[in-house]
């Protein structure tokens, strides 16, 4: 075969192979394109289904949000949402009604100072500017995202509670009147008997002096009973005024001297409080302390020791501890000592410690009994009545004042 024919045959064979390969690639591309179309169709279907599900989820969430918004609007309580910095980011209509406008964007501390007043007898309650009482609760949001605060109107419940307490108080007053009749009549009859002898010209000077002391003693006893009855009847409603702690302690020492009479009882007073300016009812506090001290005098021996210790817990709380070295109080009686009309004394009314508890609670504090039989009685009073903020004196001085006196 000629070389020219051989070359033509080779080119023809090459062209045939190239055409065959082109056909194979075309078929492969066709199959791939068909598979790609099927995949695109499948993805399009899945995307449409996902979009439909997404739209359905969004519709459900919008419905839920609308429902929650309606519930929040109809909720008979104020709801405030704070961000992590303590600023208000959302609230409902009741919160606006309670606290007034504006609220959004303000700091919560600013709104509290403007619209809420703290109550002494309940740290969870606040008083609104319109006089209503609200209970304030809060919950931290997840991941320190802020807080949600709930304000519930408890004015009606507070009124009902006050009415119930008044009914109980009236019932207790009836019981008290019946109990007081005998307690008042006995010292009064004794005072009348001694007074009737004062006009006797045959009475010598010594007996006249003794009768005068007996009359004064009975009258003081009646005065204490009447004061206890009045304080108990007030049910903790006491006028709060400024007074001096040092003056109160001095008055208490003088009063206890009169009560102890000729008995050589040592009263040891220590005042470690930094602040002297107090806010409370001085007369009621004096009466409460005297009730505790008089009980201590009755419990200790002729030469007993009574300690009155005052210390400052923090910038607003005062602690008063009254301790004696008497026989203490039995465990069976410890749970009842603050009950009205409960007494172990033959001439007692059972109002002394009840008055102490009432006065302390009226000042927003508490009183605890810590005692063991044979080891004396210890009464611990905690009172948030310090007027000024606690500020340490420079140079390490604390202003402490210690003194001890013997009541003779």
- Read off the pLDDT of residues 327-377 as tens digits, 9 standing for 90 and up: 888 777 777 777 766 676 655 566 778 888 888 888 888 998 887 666 788
CA distance 202 to 354: 45
What are the angstrom distances between the C-alpha of 378 and each of 181, 207, 264, 306?
Answer: 31, 39, 21, 10
Which has the higher per-residue pLDDT, 356 or 235? Answer: 356
The whole-number pLDDT of residue 342 equals 65
The pair of structure tokens assigned to 247 is 């003056």
Find all residues with CB under 8 Å of 98, minimum gap 6, and list them: 78, 115, 128, 132, 134, 151, 153
The pair of structure tokens assigned to 44 is 């399009």
pLDDT at 249 over 70: yes
Do residues 349 and 183 lie in contact, with contact meaning Cβ atoms separated by under 8 Å? yes
Q: Which residue has the tokens 């969870």?
A: 124
* Residues above pLDDT 90, as percent of the chain: 6
The whole-number pLDDT of residue 175 equals 66
Which has the higher per-residue pLDDT, 197 or 44? Answer: 44
The pair of structure tokens assigned to 128 is 């609104």
Q: Which residue has the tokens 């003794």?
A: 210
The whole-number pLDDT of residue 399 equals 36
Asked if residue 279 has a cis previous peptide bond (ω within 30° of 0), the answer is no
| pLDDT (tens digit per residue) in 179-197 | 666 556 666 777 787 788 7
User: Counting every residue, how long is the chain?
Assistant: 408
**Average pLDDT of the residues of the chain:** 78
Closest CA to 326 of 364, 368, 373, 285: 373
SS3 of the chain: the string is CCHHHHHHHHHHHHHHHHHHHHHHHHHHHHHHHHHHHHHHHHHHHHHHHHHHHHHHHHHHHHHHHHHHHHHHHHCCEEEEEECCCCEEEEECHHHHHHHCCCCCCCEHHHHHHHHEEECCCCCCEEEECCCCEEEEEEEECHHHCCEEEEEEECHHHHHHHHHHHHHHHHHHHHHHHHHHHHHHHHHHHHHHHHHHHCCCCCCCHHHHHHHHHHHHHHHHHHHHHHHHHHHHHHCCCCCCEEEEHHHHHHHHHHHHHHHHCCCCEEEEEEECCCCCEEEECHHHHHHHHHHHHHHHHHHCCCCCEEEEEEEECCCCCEEEEEEECCCCCCHHHHCCCCCCCCCCCCCCCCCHHHHHHHHHHHCCCEEEEEECCCCCEEEEEEECCECCCCCCCHHHCCCCEEEEEEEC
The whole-number pLDDT of residue 379 equals 92
* Residues above pLDDT 70, as percent of the chain: 78
In terms of Cβ atoms closer than 10 Å to its own Cβ (0-12, 13-18, 19+), residue 85 is exposed
Model confidence, pTM? 0.48
Q: Which of 12-16, 61-65, 179-183, 260-264 has the lowest mean pLDDT?
A: 179-183
Cα-Cα end-to-end distance for the chain? 155
* 305-312/265-271 β-pairing: parallel
The whole-number pLDDT of residue 345 equals 65
Closest CA to 91 of 107, 73, 74: 73
What are the angstrom distances between the C-alpha of 119 and each of 15, 128, 221, 315?
Answer: 103, 11, 35, 18
CA distance 128 to 132: 5
CA distance 325 to 25: 112
């Amino acid at each position: 075969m000629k070389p020219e024919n051989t070359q033509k045959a080779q080119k023809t064979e090459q062209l045939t192979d190239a055409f065959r390969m082109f056909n194979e690639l075309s078929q492969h591309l066709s199959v791939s394109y068909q598979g790609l179309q099927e995949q695109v169709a499948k993805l399009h279907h899945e995307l449409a289904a996902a979009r439909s599900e997404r739209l359905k989820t969004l519709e459900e969430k919008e419905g839920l949000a609308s429902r929650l918004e309606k519930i929040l609007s109809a909720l008979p309580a104020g709801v405030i949402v704070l961000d992590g910095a303590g600023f208000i980011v959302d609230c409902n209509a009741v919160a606006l009604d309670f606290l007034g406008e504006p609220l959004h964007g303000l700091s919560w501390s600013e709104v509290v100072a403007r619209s809420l007043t703290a109550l002494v007898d309940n740290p969870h309650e606040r008083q609104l500017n319109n006089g209503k009482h609200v209970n304030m609760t809060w919950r931290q949001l997840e991941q320190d995202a802020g807080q949600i605060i709930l304000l519930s109107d408890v004015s009606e419940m507070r009124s009902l509670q006050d009415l119930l307490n008044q009914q109980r108080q009236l019932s207790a007053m009836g019981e008290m009147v019946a109990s007081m009749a005998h307690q008042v009549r006995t010292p009064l009859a004794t005072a009348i008997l001694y007074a009737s002898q004062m006009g006797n010209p045959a009475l010598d000077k010594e007996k006249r002096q003794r009768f005068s002391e007996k009359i004064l003693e009975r009258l003081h006893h009646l005065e204490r009973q009447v004061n206890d009855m009045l304080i108990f009847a007030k049910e903790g409603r006491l006028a709060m005024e400024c007074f001096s702690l040092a003056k109160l302690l001095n008055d208490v020492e003088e009063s206890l001297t009169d009560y102890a009479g000729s008995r050589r009882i040592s009263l040891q007073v220590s005042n470690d409080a930094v602040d002297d300016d107090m806010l409370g009812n001085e007369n009621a506090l004096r009466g409460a302390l005297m009730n505790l001290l008089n009980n201590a005098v009755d419990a200790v021996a002729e030469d007993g020791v009574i300690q009155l210790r005052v210390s400052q817990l923090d910038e607003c709380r005062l602690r008063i501890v009254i301790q004696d070295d008497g026989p203490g109080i039995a465990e069976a009686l410890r749970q009842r000592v603050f009950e009205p009309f409960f007494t172990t004394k033959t001439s007692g009314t059972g109002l002394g410690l009840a008055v102490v508890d009432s006065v302390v609670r009226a000042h927003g504090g508490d009183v605890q009994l810590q005692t063991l039989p044979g080891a004396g009685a210890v009464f611990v009073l905690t009172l948030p009545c310090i007027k000024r903020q606690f500020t340490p004196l420079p140079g390490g001085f604390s202003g402490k004042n210690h003194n001890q006196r013997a009541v003779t």
